[in-house]
């Protein structure tokens, strides 16, 4: 309601209040609606007093008598109905018979008692559906509802739950306990409400209710709040009876379905009370409202009102439009480079939807803080970009254990980056699965999915950037090695003596041919006044880079040319060694220096490789961001295999 009200240019909100909201026994909660700034256009007293099933039936009948006048006067384009109370059934019946479009929130879920039947009955009368969980969506599809009219948005209440700042004065708020009217009567008869540890109330305001659930030692009862709201905070729950049977629950819920003895309940309380469980996002990620508003805007009010069902049965009707999947399902991709931190939203087709970059801080704490901040911004933007993030892929320099998501050891290019668990903090912050691998391996994965390596069983990918990295694809699978040290191609030694490498050794390819190595040699020549030649534009305040070395060589600087020839030879010889060990059918060069190295490397292969390897082709990558795309491919490939 707040979301709709905040967009008056798109929507005109009318509020109709009926049923329990207007009953004193339940706290006259219509007043809270008014206190929140909503104008109630109509109040319908539809509750017939009584505690038996007949009173419930009479209440639905009374609603059917009173609703037509209101609906006739309002003539709404769309009627939004929430949940599974019997009031909703009367409202849905009246609207359907009066040819009013119905959007049902939280359909497709499964629980116990009559709630199940009411919920599914409302779903069959509704034209559009907004559900909270993937399973609920599948159940709606299994009920032959049109999958194009079903939005998986999450529970709107989670937008409030996950965004609420926990108040410091929560102990002042926790003075009440949630109880139904009948429970209040029982407590009074037993004299329990006289006990200082118990309090019975008719209603708890939502803001206070959130604080109570968040900080409670345990929630006990048969309310859906135990299996839904409590999970958002990891609050332990003892669920009694069968009312919530079939509901999706997190590990925080312990069921006592056959609560026939006090001992069972006491034992469950002893197991649960005071525990803390991981927060669960089964029912939402806190961004349901923007998705629902966007869905509402797409509804064509001119299309035929008569709803149609998707037959034949379940197995054929669960298939979804692959174009829709390709457009919306995406990965959050991270690249931890020697110079920059980069985050991107990448869709299933390999398109970079949005990209963010910041200089990489020099300390671990600052780097992780900035990384999580960039991810949070990207996750927020993903909602408005209609991108559903399936998971997070991380590309990073150093030796990585991808099974644990841990950087085992890093070179000097990324300081304070050894024995670092990346998976846990990112997963905890974003509540998403996380994959981590070495940047060279990620580049190879990117080529396998989106680039020259697509359909090639055996190839090698080499990144030429600040450092030198690489990845090996053998029989279409990435090679990690026994200690995750395979494809450290930049640290293949091509000289027993030579420049010191960032890994601590000497004579590595990276010590000759990386961007940092070329920058080192360019600075040396510049300090010796041997770099600048006629026609070369070099400002005094400008930092010296590898680009100046290449520019000087092109303008005839013999010293610069000698440095580059040595770099090309080192890289070429290293690649020849790779060809002789793994015998790929293709070599793919990527990175800022790839285009410069391609021709010399191909020439060295022709000159120095064995005859059987001389014909192996060297190509430069067409991919804009191989490390980011490779990180994304870890997420997208897994999601594709698992779901489709």
**Residues tagged active-site:** 439
DSSP-assigned letters across all residues of 322-347: HHHHHHHEEEEEEEE-SSEEEEEEEE
**Residue 70 phi, psi dihedral angles, 5° rounding:** -65, -45
Collapsed DSSP state (helix, strand, coil) of residue 434: strand
**Is 131 exposed, middle or buried (CB count within 10 Å of its CB: 0-12, 13-18, 19+)?**
buried
- Rounded to 10°, the helix 288-298/364-384 angle is 20
DSSP annotation of 62: H
Q: CA–CA distance from 50 to each of 53, 86, 418 (Å)?
A: 8, 14, 68
**Residue 530 phi, psi dihedral angles, 5° rounding:** -115, 5
Residues 62 and 46 sit within 8 Å (Cβ to Cβ): yes
Tally the residues of the chain: 644
21 alpha carbon, distance to own chain's centre: 36
- Rounded to 10°, the helix 546-554/558-582 angle is 110
Phi-psi map region of 484: left, alpha, beta (phi>0 left; psi -120 to 50 alpha)? left
Tokens matching residue 577: 């060694």
Q: For residues 81 and 55, what is the distance between their CA atoms, to the nearest angstrom?
A: 22
Q: For residues 22 and 163, what is the distance between their CA atoms, to the nearest angstrom?
A: 29
Taking the CA atoms of 110, 112, 115 and 120 in sequence, report the sign of the dihedral they define.
Answer: positive
Q: For residues 142 and 91, what is the distance between their CA atoms, to the nearest angstrom?
A: 24
Residues 146 and 127 sit within 8 Å (Cβ to Cβ): no
Helix (H) or strand (E) holding 107: none
Residues 292 and 156 sit within 8 Å (Cβ to Cβ): yes
Taking the CA atoms of 535, 541, 545 and 547 in sequence, report the sign of the dihedral they define.
Answer: negative
Burial of 219-246, coded b for 16+ CB within 10 Å and e otherwise, reads bbbbbbbbbbbbbbbbbbbbbbeebbee
Q: Which residue has the tokens 């980056």?
A: 417
Q: For residues 623 and 632, what is the distance between their CA atoms, to the nearest angstrom?
A: 13
- β-pair partners for 149: none
Three-state SS for 193-262 is HHCCCCCCECCCCHHHHHHHHHHCCCEEECCHHHCCHHHHCCCCEEEECCCCCCCCCCCCEEEECCCCCH
Show the beta-strand stretches assigned E in 64-212.
Answer: 78-82, 101-105, 128-131, 150-152
Peptide bond before 562: cis, by omega within 30 degrees of 0?
A: no
């Amino acid at each position: 309601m707040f979301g709709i009200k905040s967009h008056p240019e798109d929507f005109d909100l009318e509020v109709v209040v009926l049923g329990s909201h207007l009953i004193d026994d339940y706290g006259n909660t219509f007043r809270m609606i008014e206190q929140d700034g909503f104008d109630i256009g109509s109040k319908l007293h539809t509750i017939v007093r009584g505690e038996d099933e007949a009173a419930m039936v009479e209440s639905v009948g009374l609603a059917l008598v009173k609703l037509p006048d209101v609906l006739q006067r309002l003539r709404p384009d769309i009627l939004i109905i929430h949940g599974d109370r019997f009031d909703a059934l009367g409202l849905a019946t009246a609207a359907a018979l009066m040819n009013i479009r119905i959007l049902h929130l939280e359909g497709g879920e499964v629980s116990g008692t009559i709630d199940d039947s009411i919920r599914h009955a409302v779903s069959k009368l509704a034209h559009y559906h907004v559900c909270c969980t993937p399973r609920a969506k599948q159940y709606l599809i299994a009920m032959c509802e049109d999958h194009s009219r079903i939005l998986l948005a999450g529970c709107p209440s989670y937008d409030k739950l996950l965004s609420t700042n926990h108040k410091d004065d929560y102990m002042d708020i926790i003075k009440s306990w949630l109880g139904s009217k009948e429970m209040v009567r029982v407590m009074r008869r037993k004299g329990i409400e006289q006990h200082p540890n118990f309090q019975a109330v008719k209603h708890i305001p939502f803001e206070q209710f959130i604080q109570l659930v968040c900080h409670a030692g345990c929630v006990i009862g048969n309310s859906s709040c135990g299996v839904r709201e409590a999970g958002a905070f990891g609050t332990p729950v003892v669920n009694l009876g069968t009312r919530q049977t079939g509901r999706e629950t997190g590990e925080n819920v312990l069921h006592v379905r056959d609560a026939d003895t006090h001992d069972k309940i006491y034992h469950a309380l002893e197991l649960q009370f005071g525990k803390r469980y991981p927060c669960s996002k089964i029912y939402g990620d806190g961004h349901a409202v923007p998705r629902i508003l966007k869905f509402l805007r797409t509804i064509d009010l001119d299309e035929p009102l008569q709803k149609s069902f998707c037959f034949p049965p379940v197995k054929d009707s669960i298939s979804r439009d692959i174009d829709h999947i390709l457009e919306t399902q995406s990965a959050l991709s991270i690249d931890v480079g020697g110079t920059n931190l980069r985050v991107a939203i990448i869709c299933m087709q390999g398109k970079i939807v949005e990209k963010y970059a910041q200089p990489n801080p020099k300390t671990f704490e600052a780097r992780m803080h900035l990384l999580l901040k960039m991810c949070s911004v990207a996750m927020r933007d993903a909602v408005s970009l209609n991108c559903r993030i399936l998971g997070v892929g991380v590309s990073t320099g150093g030796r990585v254990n991808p099974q644990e998501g841990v950087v085992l050891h890093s070179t000097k290019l990324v300081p304070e980056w050894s024995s670092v668990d990346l998976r846990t903090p990112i997963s905890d912050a974003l509540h998403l699965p996380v994959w981590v691998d070495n940047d060279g391996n990620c580049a190879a994965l990117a080529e396998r999915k989106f680039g020259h390596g697509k359909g090639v069983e055996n190839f090698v990918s080499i990144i030429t950037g600040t450092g030198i990295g690489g990845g090996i694809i053998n029989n279409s699978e990435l090679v990690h090695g026994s200690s995750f040290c395979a494809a450290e191609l930049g640290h293949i030694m091509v000289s027993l003596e030579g420049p010191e490498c960032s890994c601590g050794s000497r004579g590595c390819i990276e010590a000759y041919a990386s961007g940092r190595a070329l920058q080192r040699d360019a600075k040396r020549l510049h300090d010796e006044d041997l770099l600048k030649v006629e026609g070369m534009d070099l400002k005094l305040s400008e930092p010296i880079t590898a680009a100046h070395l290449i520019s000087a060589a092109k303008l005839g600087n013999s010293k610069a040319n000698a440095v580059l020839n040595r770099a090309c030879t080192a890289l070429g010889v290293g690649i020849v060694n790779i060809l002789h060990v793994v015998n790929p059918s293709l070599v793919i060069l990527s990175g800022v220096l790839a285009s410069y190295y391609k021709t010399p490397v191909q020439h060295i292969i022709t000159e120095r490789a064995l005859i059987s390897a001389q014909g192996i082709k060297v190509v430069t990558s067409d991919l804009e961001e191989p490390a980011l795309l490779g990180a994304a491919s870890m997420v997208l490939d897994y999601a594709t295999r698992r779901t489709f």
